[in-house]
């Protein structure tokens, strides 16, 4: 993917921006032209909270191209608080500590580097939820 493609996906990858259907109010991620719930056009931007829970997870030992240097790594299905389920890498956690139902939060991290120019690609990953201390 070239720079223009990454630029178009910037909001989705860096802030978890999806859409909410104006007809049935279904939250959609990734953004879609048509709501899968009601079949009507969906174009209202919506920024997700970035919080959710681990729905399922695995360890990737044989990664796709450009991810070899990260092997092994944790990959999870994360169910966002708002409902959608997405696939993401888990970070800042030991594999033995991961469990289904574990609260997680989105963080922006380096995904990979592409091309001779060294284009560094950033996107979302999830880490265990860091609870804010009340003063």
Structural element, H or E, at residue 106? strand 103-114
The pLDDT assigned to 69 comes to 82
CA angle (52, 29, 92) in 5-degree steps: 40
Q: Cβ contacts of residue 44 below 8 Å, gap of 6+?
A: 19, 20, 21, 22
The pLDDT assigned to 110 comes to 81
Tokens of 115: 């091309």
Where do the domains of the chain lie? 3-128
- Taking the whole predicted model, whether its pTM rises above 0.85 is answered as no
* Per-chain mean pLDDT for the chain: 85
The pLDDT assigned to 43 comes to 82
Dump pLDDT digits (tens) for 27-59.
999 888 899 999 999 888 999 999 999 999 999
Low-confidence residues of the chain, pLDDT below 70? Answer: 1-14, 114-118, 131-135
Cβ atoms of 16 and 106 closer than 8 Å: yes
User: Percentage of residues in the chain with pLDDT exceeding 70?
Assistant: 81
């Amino acid at each position: 993917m070239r720079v223009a493609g990454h630029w178009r996906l910037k909001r989705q990858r860096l802030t978890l921006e999806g859409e909410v259907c104006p007809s049935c109010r279904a939250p959609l991620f990734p953004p879609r032209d048509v709501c899968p719930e009601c079949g009507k056009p969906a174009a209202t931007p919506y920024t997700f909270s970035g919080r959710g829970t681990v729905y399922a997870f695995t360890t990737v030992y044989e990664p796709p191209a450009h991810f070899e240097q990260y092997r092994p790594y944790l990959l999870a299905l994360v169910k966002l608080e708002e409902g959608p389920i997405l696939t993401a890498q888990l970070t800042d956690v030991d594999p033995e500590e991961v469990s289904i139902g574990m609260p997680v939060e989105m963080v922006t991290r380096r995904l990979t580097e592409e091309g001779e120019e060294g284009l560094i690609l950033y996107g979302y990953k999830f880490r265990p939820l860091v609870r804010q201390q009340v003063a």
